[in-house]
Amino acid sequence: MKTLKCDLCEVTAKGETFEEWMEALKPHYMQAHADVMNNPKNGKKEMEKWMAENKARFDAA
């Protein structure tokens, strides 16, 4: 089980795998960073970039 910080603030989420961590972080993200999620500029490409960056962060933790 790894604990990793949100990429935008100090809140942490836990998960055995990156996918679990992402699921655990999702409610926080929707609440605290809804503006980021709803930004039309953040399309599929940005989402993929976010996933790649955070997966690397998770693997390094």
Give the residues lining the site for Zn ion (CB under 5 A).
6, 8-9, 11, 32
2's tokens: 């790894």
Q: How far is the CB of 4 from Zn ion (least distance, A)?
A: 11
Euclidean distance between CA atoms 36 and 44, whole angstroms: 13
Q: How far is the CB of 26 from Zn ion (least distance, A)?
A: 11
**Nearer to Zn ion (CB atom), residue 32 or residue 61:** 32
Q: How far is the CB of 7 from Zn ion (least distance, A)?
A: 7
What residue type is 58 in one-letter code? F
Q: Is 61 helix (H, G, I), strand (E, B) or coil?
A: coil
